[in-house]
């Protein structure tokens, strides 16, 4: 109950929700997420509350629950603010001298920020915290070192952090406010204002918290001091007030919160009885000049100053204790300038909001300062009375006595000033403003002004508000109107006699949804409608509301379950909960049960609300048909296709509750709407509704009782849709999907169909399979599978030749020969959905299908002469589906059943397809599309390996498959794409935990330990910083254990190749992590044979992939990083391991000879430069010769980059050709390598450089090969 009771507290979405949030918090204190048996204590101490089935009341004795929570009161005080001790210690630390305050201040801010969502939890210590921080600031003010105010600034910054969380008005209450504080606080404020104005490090402090936080808190502090009752003449500084007013006027032009604090402070000071006669007229004259200046010339400075002026005036009208006549005398001078201003500005919402507030407060000043006696007064309100089955006579009299018209004192008739009528007209216009904040301010203004009007005028205001609901297209008027109605009801200004006119409008607002192209507007209106209902539930007695509760409750429950927006669902639930609590559970059948089911958290998930919560509530009396009817008439035709699908699904679920209504009313209606030619939404939703309703009825066999006419209409519906060509034009795709779903549901229900009708449905599916839309293909394949199972039986001898040709042979032929990629994708997918009776009537058919898919799954396969990633992915998925469908069986033990399964040979073929799919690294304009095949292969091989593991005969499959699977997945786990790593990690976890396969996986225990996959707990494998440090441990597996050198080498190569791709990738976070773990591993290998093994494997990979840019470019980047960190220096300098440098140079030469890719050539140059220092002379000569060759490369960018790198390496390596270095450097510097010059000229320059460096022979050797 308590969790639900605070729905509005967490309400989000717009400003209405924010105010709603504040209202509930002020009334009820602690929100749900912090509620426990201890935390709720203070709530129960202040309010009467029903809690489940137990009544708790401080007037009727204590229940066991109340006694329990009261006993925990003392302990709950500490639970509310868990960091209390630490916070006070930090505050004390800030008051000490000679220490650094930055760290404690930062920690204090983080503690306070934790309570932003529920600041009332700080209330128990708020006063003590505020006073200690204020005392710390005061102590600093009283010292002689007032040039810096260091301690004060930190203390005020902490106070600001506290005010940000709890609100400045609450913090102000606890600030010290003695007369002696006025001048020190003012002096400090002057100092920090000077710092802000100068903005120079020589004058203002350069370290510490922002100065503006101190200014903000000091203005708030000065505002509190203005309330101290003393005569300003006793101040030593006679000019203090005037200086304060001048400084305040300057601060009014600030754009931030300083303006708010300064405006409140100025309003409070100039409203003092001893200052108002002088200061208010002076401020009004200055304000008039500011407003007129802004009207003449718009600028940001003038705008902020104008906002500050209006804030100050509104605050003065609110806070001043001066008589309203004197206020009117002072502020009337601003009426005309503001009237002119309001007519010229329309685009500044903040200014419009303040103008609305100004009109409302000035109107109140024009009217008698009293609350209207004609307003509705409900009397004492107790939640306890509303949960009793029968209220006592005394309570009933108490609640209804306010309705006695003859006991209400009549207002004296008085003339409403013209200014009030003019202002009220502008306030009502504000209810339709573009901005929500303006509309909300206008709604409060309407309530504030109406509260002082005569009853007749109040009725006129209500009539004006109700006129807003006549415009069906203006959502702003509806929103503003709902807010205004709520305000009128809250203040008792909406009399019960008018509820009959108002309630229908509220119901319409709760369900308001105005379509606009491909979206809609109205969520804010529905939210405001729920708020209005909430306000009504609180404002009126159960006797007044009882005639309207039935219709209101149904509307609000529908919104709580079926609204598209989560904030509206939660708002409706909170409003219904308030109504049940305030109006009495007896007035709401199953009200408490509904609240228990549909609470704040459960309504957060839209699918759950539709398919689960709605079903539970539909089973309650009185809600079944309203829910079904709302789905049938409204939600099935919603503009959002997702809502239409959910509504159809929910309708199918509810069909089991009221079968007769669905069969006799819903289905005929939807069948008619399914053929609507004009409206796509209607025919799509209706078609889905028919399909899902039929499916729901079939689950209870109720469809067998359908009237013959309806059965005929359903079976002919697909033909009718096709005859009317409803697949064509805009929206044809979604109609195809809906028809496929309809066919699927017909097949699941097994409606009686003739052979001709069965074939027509199969033809319809056949037409959708080759559609370019993947979703349509998916729906068509699902329908195909169910249709074949339900209507196309297979005898003992297998399928007929006609059926075999119609399905299997046709699909295989299209996959093998089709040039249309969409058709190939569709039929490759569809063949995986065929039932086993068609896939495997004999071994040759099954082998033919697998061979067809094997060819289509190869990464070099073509469709219409082009590569198609979707076809390859679908082929792999279909192979997995076929293996699952036909099963795995030992051929030697297979029975005479004509349906066969996968044997050893076919099983090996399927696994080979998956291993080949993991080598798909195809790239197109969409990126690494080959990753789709890799992900599908990992999923498929794990599924197949799981099935193999369940077979008692281990000879059915090649025993090398498990560790090949593991090494392949480990490679994907080491690579650069986050989603692929996540899938690889999940698949590897599943494989490692297969106990029957464990014996075939070498080093399984070590792999499990290294990766930390002892159980199936979810790991974030997509996070490189989590995955790579674990994966790199696998490089040590066979070194430590050496159980199987071949398997160990396979793991080693897989991990290293994957990390190389990641370290050389483009994603910075991934390549940093991969580079770091590789370099750290190489450093740990120093002085051992493991380093030589790492280098050897690196060179093996280089030699294997020479000319393959996908792998070579990241390998070159990785190699450059490792050489730069000098991890291979011991190998390069040791004559016994110098073959590493030789192999590396050979690979670089081979790569340069075959490469025409500029990025690879540039990276190759960097690797040569990084490799040259410390290598044997022969390798060095070849490297320099290769650089010389690259300086005459056909690509200018390669030439210029090589020349730059060449120059740097010659500068660093003075020992190489030292006598010729100056000449070589001069040639390199003076030759324009990047320009488009004659190739012969560049070739001559290259030879000249090579000749000086004595590598001409090596250069000629490189050029002739």
Residue 756 lies in a domain: no
Structure token digits, residue 709: 């006419």
Q: What is the pLDDT of residue 1239?
A: 66
What is the crossing angle of helices 843-857 and 821-831, to 10°? 140
Per-residue pLDDT reduced to its tens digit, 939-968: 999 999 888 887 776 566 677 888 899 999
Q: What is the pLDDT of residue 406?
A: 42
pLDDT band for 384, please (50, 70, 90 cuts). Answer: low
Q: Are strands 49-51 and 54-56 parallel, antiparallel or unpaired?
A: antiparallel
Q: What is the pLDDT of residue 146?
A: 52
Stretch among 69-78, 461-470, 536-545, 990-999 having the lowest mean pLDDT: 69-78
Q: What is the pLDDT of residue 48?
A: 32
Q: What is the pLDDT of residue 824?
A: 96
pLDDT band for 4, please (50, 70, 90 cuts). Answer: very low
- Report the pLDDT averaged over residues 998-1013: 86
**In the chain, count of helices (H) and strands (E)?**
66, 4
Residue 1221 lies in a domain: yes
Q: What is the pLDDT of residue 965?
A: 93
Q: What is the pLDDT of residue 688?
A: 97
Residue 455 lies in a domain: no
CB 885 within 8 A of CB 839: yes
- Report the pLDDT averaged over residues 110-129: 92
pLDDT band for 614, please (50, 70, 90 cuts). Answer: very high
pLDDT band for 35, please (50, 70, 90 cuts). Answer: very low
Residue 104 lies in a domain: no
Q: What is the pLDDT of residue 856?
A: 95
Residue that finishes a domain, picked among 359, 392, 419: 359
Residue 373 lies in a domain: no
Residue 311 lies in a domain: yes
Per-residue pLDDT reduced to its tens digit, 1106-1158: 999 999 999 999 999 999 999 998 888 877 777 899 999 999 999 999 899 99
Q: Answer yes or no: is pLDDT of 808 > 50.
A: yes
Transcribe 889-934 into DSSP letters: --GGG--S-S---B-HHHHHHHHHHHHHHTT----BTTB-THHHHH
- Report the pLDDT averaged over residues 791-795: 86
Structure token digits, residue 286: 């200055």
Residues spanned by the domain of 814: 793-958
CB 1031 within 8 A of CB 970: yes
Mean pLDDT of all residues belonging to the chain: 85
pTM of the model: 0.82
- Residue bearing the bigger pLDDT, 427 or 703: 427
Q: What is the pLDDT of residue 205?
A: 66
pLDDT band for 326, please (50, 70, 90 cuts). Answer: confident
- Closest-CA residue to 1026 (of 1013, 1043, 1038, 1035): 1013
What is the C-alpha separation between 321 and 271, in angstroms, rounded? Answer: 7
Stretch among 200-214, 826-840, 897-911 having the lowest mean pLDDT: 200-214
Residue that finishes a domain, picked among 328, 359, 390: 359
Residue that finishes a domain, picked among 321, 340, 359: 359
Pure H helices in 1064-1195:
1068-1084, 1089-1104, 1109-1124, 1129-1133, 1139-1154, 1158-1171, 1177-1190
- Report the pLDDT averaged over residues 732-736: 93
Top mean pLDDT of 228-237, 503-512, 1044-1053 is at 503-512
Domain count, the chain: 3
Q: What is the pLDDT of residue 1048?
A: 66
- Report the pLDDT averaged over residues 200-219: 79
Per-residue pLDDT reduced to its tens digit, 399-435: 344 444 444 444 557 788 888 999 999 999 999 999 9
Q: Answer yes or no: is pLDDT of 1238 > 50.
A: yes
Q: Provide φ and ψ at 50, rounded to 5°.
A: -90, 135
Per-residue pLDDT reduced to its tens digit, 82-95: 899 999 999 999 88
- Report the pLDDT averaged over residues 228-233: 84
Q: What is the pLDDT of residue 18?
A: 31
Residue 479 lies in a domain: no
In the chain, what percentage of residues exceed pLDDT 90?
60
Q: What is the pLDDT of residue 233?
A: 77
Q: What is the pLDDT of residue 286?
A: 94
Q: What is the pLDDT of residue 382?
A: 55
What is the C-alpha separation between 1256 and 1220, in angstroms, rounded? Answer: 14
Per-residue pLDDT reduced to its tens digit, 497-548: 999 999 999 999 999 998 876 678 899 999 999 999 999 999 999 999 999 9
Residue 888 lies in a domain: yes
Per-residue pLDDT reduced to its tens digit, 706-729: 899 999 999 999 999 999 988 887
pLDDT band for 917, please (50, 70, 90 cuts). Answer: very high
């Amino acid at each position: 109950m308590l969790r639900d009771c605070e729905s509005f507290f967490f309400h989000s979405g717009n400003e209405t929700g924010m105010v709603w949030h504040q209202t509930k918090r002020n009334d009820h204190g602690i929100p749900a997420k912090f509620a426990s048996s201890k935390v709720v204590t203070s709530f129960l101490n202040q309010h009467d509350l029903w809690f489940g089935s137990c009544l708790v009341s401080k007037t009727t004795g204590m229940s066991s629950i109340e006694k329990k929570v009261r006993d925990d009161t003392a302990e709950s005080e500490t639970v509310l603010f868990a960091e209390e001790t630490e916070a006070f210690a930090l505050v004390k630390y800030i008051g000490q001298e000679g220490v650094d305050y930055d760290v404690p201040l930062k920690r204090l801010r983080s503690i306070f920020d934790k309570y932003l969502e529920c600041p009332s939890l700080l209330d128990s210590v708020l006063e003590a915290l505020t006073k200690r921080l204020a005392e710390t600031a005061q102590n600093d003010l009283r010292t002689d070192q007032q040039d810096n105010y260091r301690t004060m600034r930190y203390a005020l910054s902490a106070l600001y952090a506290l005010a940000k969380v709890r609100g400045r008005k609450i913090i102000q209450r606890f600030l010290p406010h003695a007369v002696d504080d006025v001048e020190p606080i003012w002096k400090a404020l002057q100092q920090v204002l000077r710092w802000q104005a100068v903005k120079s490090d020589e004058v203002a402090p350069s370290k510490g918290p922002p100065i503006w936080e101190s200014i903000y808190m000091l203005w708030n502090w000065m505002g509190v001091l203005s309330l101290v009752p003393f005569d300003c003449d006793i101040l030593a500084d006679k000019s203090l007030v005037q200086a304060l007013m001048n400084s305040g006027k300057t601060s009014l032009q600030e754009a931030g919160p300083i303006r708010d604090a300064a405006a409140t402070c100025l309003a409070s000071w100039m409203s003092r009885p001893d200052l108002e006669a002088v200061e208010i007229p002076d401020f009004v004259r200055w304000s008039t000049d500011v407003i007129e200046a802004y009207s003449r010339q718009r600028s940001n400075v003038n705008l902020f100053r104008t906002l500050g002026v209006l804030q100050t005036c509104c605050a003065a009208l609110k806070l001043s204790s001066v008589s309203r006549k004197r206020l009117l005398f002072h502020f009337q001078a601003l009426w005309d300038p503001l009237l002119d201003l309001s007519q010229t500005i329309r685009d500044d919402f903040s200014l419009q909001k303040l103008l609305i507030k100004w009109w409302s407060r000035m109107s109140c000043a024009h009217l008698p300062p009293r609350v209207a006696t004609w307003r509705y007064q409900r009397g004492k309100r107790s939640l306890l009375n509303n949960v009793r089955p029968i209220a006592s006579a005394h309570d009933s009299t108490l609640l209804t006595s306010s309705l006695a018209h003859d006991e209400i004192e009549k207002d004296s008739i008085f003339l409403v000033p013209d200014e009030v009528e003019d202002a009220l007209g502008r306030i009502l216009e504000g209810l339709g403003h573009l901005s929500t904040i303006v509309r909300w301010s206008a709604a409060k203004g309407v309530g504030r002004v109406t509260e002082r009007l005569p009853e007749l005028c109040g009725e006129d205001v209500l009539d004006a508000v109700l006129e807003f609901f006549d415009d069906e297209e203006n959502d702003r008027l509806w929103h503003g109107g709902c807010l205004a109605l709520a305000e009128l009801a809250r203040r008792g200004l909406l009399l019960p006699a008018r509820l009959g006119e108002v309630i229908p409008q509220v119901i319409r607002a709760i369900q308001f949804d105005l379509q606009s192209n491909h979206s809609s507007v109205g969520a804010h209106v529905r939210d405001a409608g729920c708020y209005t209902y909430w306000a009504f539930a609180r404002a009126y007695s159960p006797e007044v509301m009882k005639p309207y509760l039935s219709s209101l409750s149904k509307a609000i429950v529908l919104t709580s379950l079926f609204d598209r927006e989560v904030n509206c669902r939660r708002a409706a639930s909170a409003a219904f909960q308030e109504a049940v609590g305030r109006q009495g559970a007896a007035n709401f059948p199953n009200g408490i049960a509904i609240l228990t089911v549909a609470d704040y958290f459960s309504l957060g998930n839209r699918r759950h609300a539709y398919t689960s919560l709605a079903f539970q509530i539909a089973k309650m009396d009185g809600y079944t048909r309203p829910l079904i009817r709302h789905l049938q008439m409204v939600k099935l035709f919603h503009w959002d296709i997702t809502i239409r699908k959910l509504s159809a699904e929910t309708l199918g679920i509810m069909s089991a509750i009221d079968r007769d209504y669905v069969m006799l009313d819903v289905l005929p209606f939807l069948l008619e709407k399914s053929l609507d030619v004009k409206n796509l939404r209607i025919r799509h939703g209706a078609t889905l509704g028919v399909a899902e309703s039929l499916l729901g009825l079939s689950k209870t066999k109720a469809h067998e009782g359908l009237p013959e006419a309806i059965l005929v209409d359903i079976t002919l519906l697909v033909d009718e849709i096709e005859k009317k060509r409803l697949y064509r034009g805009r929206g044809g795709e979604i109609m195809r999907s809906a028809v496929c779903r309809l066919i699927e549901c017909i097949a699941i229900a097994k409606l009686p169909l003739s052979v001709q009708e069965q074939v027509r449905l199969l033809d319809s599916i056949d037409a959708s399979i080759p559609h370019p839309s993947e979703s349509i293909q998916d729906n068509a394949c699902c329908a195909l599978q169910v249709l074949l199972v339900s209507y196309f039986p297979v005898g003992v001898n297998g399928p007929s030749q006609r059926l075999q040709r119609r399905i299997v042979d046709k699909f295989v032929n299209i996959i093998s020969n089709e040039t249309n990629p969409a058709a190939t994708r569709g039929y490759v997918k569809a063949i995986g959905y065929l039932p086993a009776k068609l896939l495997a009537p004999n071994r040759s058919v099954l082998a033919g299908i697998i061979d067809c898919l094997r060819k289509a799954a190869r990464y070099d396969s073509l469709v219409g002469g082009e590569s198609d990633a979707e076809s390859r992915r679908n082929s792999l998925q279909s192979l997995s589906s076929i293996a699952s469908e036909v099963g795995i069986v030992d051929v030697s033990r297979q029975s005479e059943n004509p349906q066969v399964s996968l044997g050893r040979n076919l099983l090996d073929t399927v696994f080979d397809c998956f291993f080949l799919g993991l080598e798909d690294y195809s790239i197109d304009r969409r990126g690494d599309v080959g990753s789709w095949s890799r992900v599908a292969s990992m999923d498929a091989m794990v599924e197949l390996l799981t099935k193999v593991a369940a077979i008692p005969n281990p000879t059915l499959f090649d025993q090398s498959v498990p560790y090949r699977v593991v090494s392949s997945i480990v490679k994907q786990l080491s690579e650069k794409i986050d989603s692929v790593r996540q899938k690889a990690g999940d698949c590897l976890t599943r494989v490692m935990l297969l106990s029957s396969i464990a014996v075939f996986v070498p080093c399984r225990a070590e792999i499990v330990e290294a990766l930390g996959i002892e159980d199936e707990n979810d790991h974030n494998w997509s996070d490189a910083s989590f995955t790579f440090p674990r994966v790199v441990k696998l490089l040590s597996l066979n070194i430590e254990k050496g159980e199987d050198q071949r398997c160990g080498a396979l793991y080693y190569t897989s991990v290293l190749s994957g990390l190389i791709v990641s370290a050389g990738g483009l994603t910075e976070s991934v390549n940093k992590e991969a580079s770091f773990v590789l370099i750290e591993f190489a450093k740990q290998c120093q002085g051992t044979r493991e380093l030589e093994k790492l280098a050897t494997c690196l060179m093996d990979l280089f030699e294997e992939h020479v000319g393959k840019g996908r792998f070579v470019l990241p390998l070159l980047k990785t190699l450059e990083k490792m050489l730069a960190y000098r991890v291979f220096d011991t190998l390069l300098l040791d004559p016994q391991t110098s073959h590493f440098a030789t192999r590396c140079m050979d690979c670089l030469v081979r790569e340069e000879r075959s490469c025409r890719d500029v990025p690879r050539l540039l990276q190759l140059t960097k690797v040569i430069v990084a490799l040259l220092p410390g290598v044997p002379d022969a390798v060095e000569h070849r490297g320099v010769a290769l650089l010389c060759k690259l300086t005459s490369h056909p690509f200018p960018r390669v030439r210029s980059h090589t020349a730059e790198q060449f120059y740097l390496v010659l500068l660093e390596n003075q020992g190489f050709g030292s006598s010729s270095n100056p000449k070589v450097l001069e040639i390199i510097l003076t030759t324009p390598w990047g320009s488009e010059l004659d190739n012969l000229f560049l070739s001559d320059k290259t030879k000249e450089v090579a000749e000086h460096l004595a590598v001409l022979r090596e250069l000629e050797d490189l050029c002739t090969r």
